[in-house]
Amino acid sequence: MAEPVKAFVTGFPIKHSRSPLIHGFWLNAHGLQGSYQAIETAPEAFPAFIASLREKGYAGGNVTIPHKETAFALCEAHDAAAESIGAVNTLWFENDRLHGGNTDAYGFAANLDEYARGWDNADTALVLGAGGASRAIVYALKSRGFTHIHVVNRTPSRAEELAQHFGATVSAHGWDEAQALAAIAGLIVNTTPLGMEGHGKDAFTPDLAKADPATIVTDIVYVPLETPFLKAAREAGLKTVDGLGMLLHQAVPGFGRWFGLRPEVTPELRAHILADM
């Protein structure tokens, strides 16, 4: 009988990761014998951990903060999203080579496809933040045809770097321009930890009274499910989409690669994760 397939998620720290719950739910729902284990790896131990994957018999796994860029450098091949974003969150072996992919952009778009169909008919987006998550989201917006992507960031030089990397459709702005840009964007995305539980009281609650009523507002933070930013948007009458779906959808491609079956993001999975929050 074949050995059960093994996969992992590694980060530092890793104890708050919900990925084991997601993959565990799917393994159980499909009656598969595989395993998906959380492994904490300090930055200095990460290259050796990656080098040991074959020997330990892993089919692949997920990498999260702070390893996504190092993982990119250690992979022997990349998918198009990882190549453009410069970070890897999903690893697998193909023809005995370690491949790295980035499924964050896919997860972001799939969440909006599910809850805000037609979101990509807009051409102007406002992205708050210019870190690693922002890069994946700007990549997703470009891939879905947005032609005016405005990135605002507390540290303007990071936004400029990001805009330069992605080219003419992306422009960089200081944080003080967020309010004015919110009024012209068809889609507004928060990629910063502002509003996240445990991240202090700072939150972004713009006055959205002047926003186009068709504007869609989304956050990648999902604890709490409705951030102060999403609450302000809802109260202004705008359509909002929380960040939990991005987390669930980004897990789909990895599971498919390791366990050979493409799982679904169902209301039952969502309830399973929410019950643990």
Q: Which DSSP state fits 162?
A: H
Q: Which of 10, 89, 192, 227 binds ligand ATR (CB under 6 A)?
A: 192
The arrangement of strands across the sheet holding 35-40 comes to 35-40, 6-11, 58-63, 90-94, 97-101, 77-78
Sequential DSSP letters for 240-251 = EE-SHHHHHHHT
Residues numbered 130-189 forming contacts with ligand ATR, rule: CB under 6 A? 130-134, 153-155, 158
CB of 60 to ligand ATR, least distance (A): 21
Please name the residue that has the structure tokens 């969150």: 89
CB of 129 to ligand ATR, least distance (A): 4
Indicate the residue among 135 and 272 with the shorter CB distance to ligand ATR: 135
Q: Is 193 in the site for ligand ATR (CB under 6 A)?
A: yes
Indicate the residue among 84 and 134 with the shorter CB distance to ligand ATR: 134
Q: Is 6 in the site for ligand ATR (CB under 6 A)?
A: no
Whether 68 sits among the annotated catalytic residues: the reply is yes
CB of 153 to ligand ATR, least distance (A): 5
The half-sphere exposure of 211 on its side-chain side, counting CA atoms within 13 A, is 28
The answer to whether 57 touches 6, Cβ cutoff 8 Å, is: yes
CB of 121 to ligand ATR, least distance (A): 26
The answer to whether 138 touches 116, Cβ cutoff 8 Å, is: no
Q: Is 247 in the site for ligand ATR (CB under 6 A)?
A: no
Q: Which is the catalytic residue, given 6, 15, 56, 68?
A: 68
The token duo for 6 is: 């093994």
Q: Which of 38, 152, 162, 194 binds ligand ATR (CB under 6 A)?
A: 194
Q: Is 218 in the site for ligand ATR (CB under 6 A)?
A: no
Distance (Å, whole) CA 224 – CA 242: 9
Please name the residue that has the structure tokens 């989409």: 241
Minimal CB distance residue for ligand ATR: 131
Distance (Å, whole) CA 126 – CA 131: 14
Positions annotated as catalytic residues are 68
Binding site for ligand ATR (CB under 6 A): 129-134, 153-155, 158, 191-194, 202
